[in-house]
A and B are shown apart, each in its own frame.
Chain A
Amino acid sequence: MAAIASSSATTLPEGDTLKASTFQRLHPKAYFERFLAENLRPDGRDLDEWRAVSLNVGSISTADGSALVRLGDTTVVCGVKAEIAEPELDSPEDGFLVPNLDLPAICSPKFKPGPPTEEAQVLSDRLNDVLVAAGVVPLSSLCIERGRAVWVLYVDATCINYDGNAFDATLLAMVAALKNTRLPKATFDEETGRTTCSRKTRLPLQISRLPASMSFGIFDGTHIVVDPTSFEEPLLETTLSVAVDENGGLVSVTQLGLGIAGGQDVLMRCIASAKDRRKTLGDSIWTGSVAKT
């Protein structure tokens, strides 16, 4: 097989590019190993380098709050729609927060049209855990009238382009969309039993925590790669996701796989790396179209 040119200054002649991409398709693991031997990844990043994040909020007028996140090539659009419902009998002051992620056929050739795949279901469930368990929006703030009417926030995210690490991108999009949401002022009429909303006054949501997630993967029990792409993801036998809030507090840690990387304590290393990254991202990321590495 053709040797991949290691000099970054010269561009490959067309014949070599074709051979490299064929090698990538036929032997993805060996292709990846060749890069890791040089401490690099196929897209040119270091093993611990994160992709640039860009965030754009409030562009969808039909949604009460919206956000578009681009994490490298992974693109996720999230919209928040608010509706009114009766609360549960055993929690009469709590509203509802319903997050869902959709991975449709448009975003990648590996998804077929139809009902949500296992991957989408698992990611939706994990997002639900992070958003609801972390208490990003205190459910009592969604109450309109105790026991009669509460807000239901449907937070729907759709992936438009899937290049790995959909979880991080979606969590970022959902929290940004919630931060961007403005609910109309609602008044409950005791006599008619109906809730009417004002067209003029809109109030922002109460956001108590701003979690962001960082994902890691372990390849071949030796290398820890950060922010995997869709090429790298199927080759990693362990994936770790750490969600950290704005004070450096841990919100959620999930690990799929054994987690062995040359005998080091992988979990603590990843948590430390995630906390650093959260601090670098800061809090200004949520408010606008800021691209940060």
Chain B
Amino acid sequence: MAQSNFDRRRINGPDESFPPLFEADEEDPVHNLPRTRRGRSADDIRPIFLKAGLISQANGSAYIETERTKIACAVYGPRQSKTTVYSENGRLNVEVKFAPFSCTRRRAPIRDAEDRSVAVQIHQALWPSVRLELLPKSTLDIFITIIENDGIEGCIASGSVAASAALADAGIEMLGLVVSCAASTIGKEIWLDPTEEEARMASGSLILSGMPALGTITNVWQSGRLTPEETIQCMEACQGRCLDIHTVVAQALLDNAQVT
């Protein structure tokens, strides 16, 4: 990070420091990415490891790991709303924090626009599924810490899965589990669950969140250049995959419930 503001609440290093520059003649992975996917097929997603209940202090929690994306999520609530305005429906508050070592370039601990945009996407994905009408005057706080980050699409997708599992672990009443899947178009193909390099190489990306139990979609986020036909194809591919992810999440929650 080139510019670092002096933060009087933390231990500070030198005024300016730069991430290491690597030698140019060595292989640069971004431009040499092969046309056929390395290691898996176009519609394979990476294996998901999901464990609920790891954070004992929280009402509900979940930890998700998919190869190089590691996200911890905790749910505190329902707790009393701090505001004096009476609200008939509960509030859902999502906060996302990137650990400083989670990205290739060190992130300052200051929260910036990227944290907020990930939080807003996850909020939109979860909001239709939670029965907030049963929680007047209450707030549900969802805190997400991204320990390792392999692309924003992966973060939003895995983050919403973890948050939904954490809500289930907390015993909050929901209409269904929310699962997400991301897709990117590389040339003519649609690759599901792209890594950071693959997403950067793609012409367009799409993240779909939905509740497979009800067959509904809660959030779609598209970026880049996609024709309407490609968008529909991506959405259908994601929706199909969401069914598999839902099984994994349900199984993980069941295992956790049986152990405790």
Contact = CB atoms under 8 A, between A and B. Distances in A.
Asked if A pairs with B, the answer is: yes
Interface stretch (B55-63, B127-135, B229-237, B246-254): B55-63
Given A104-B145, A124-B11, A154 B106 contact: yes
B10 A100 contact: yes
Interface stretch (A5-13, A194-202, A241-249): A194-202
Contact of A163 (B14, B27, B56, B68): B56
A114 to B, nearest CB: 9
B18 interface: yes
A106 B14 contact: no
A84 B16 CA distance: 9
B13 A96 contact: yes
Contact of B23 (A88, A100, A105, A197): A197
A193 interface: no
Interface in A174-223: 184, 186, 194-200
Interface string A149-184: 000101010101111000000000000000000001
Interface string A217-254: 00000000000001000000000000000000000000
Contact of A107 (B55, B101, B104): B55
Contact of A160 (B21, B27, B72, B79): B72
A29 interface: no
Interface residues of B, number: 46
B169 interface: no
A125 B70 contact: no
Interface in B100-150: 100-104, 106, 109, 141, 143-145, 147-149
A98 interface: yes
Nearest to B147: A77
A152 B11 contact: no
B99 interface: yes
A184 B148 contact: no
Interface stretch (A20-28, A56-64, A260-268): A56-64
A200 to B, nearest CB: 7
Contact of A60 (B70, B76, B145): B70
A83 B147 contact: no
A98 B74 CA distance: 28
A116 B109 CA distance: 10
Nearest to B77: A109
A62 B95 contact: no
B12 to A, nearest CB: 7
Given A100-B109, A197-B21, A200-B26, A156 B57 contact: no
B145 A184 contact: no
Contacts of A59: 70
A128 interface: yes
Given A88-B14, A98-B13, A199 B23 contact: yes
A206 to B, nearest CB: 18
B39 interface: no
A79 interface: yes
A95 B215 CA distance: 56
Q: What 9 pairs across the A-B complex have the smallest Cβ distances?
A: A79-B101, A85-B17, A106-B143, A63-B101, A98-B13, A83-B17, A156-B100, A81-B106, A197-B20
Interface of B: 1, 9-14, 16-23, 26-27, 54-58, 68, 70, 72-74, 76, 79, 95, 97, 99-104, 106, 109, 141, 143-145, 147-149
Given A86-B14, A116-B9, 11 more contacts: A62-B68, A75-B54, A85-B14, A96-B14, A100-B109, A106-B97, A107-B57, A109-B57, A152-B13, A156-B101, A196-B21
8 contacts: A63-B101, A77-B147, A83-B1, A98-B13, A106-B73, A121-B10, A154-B106, A199-B22
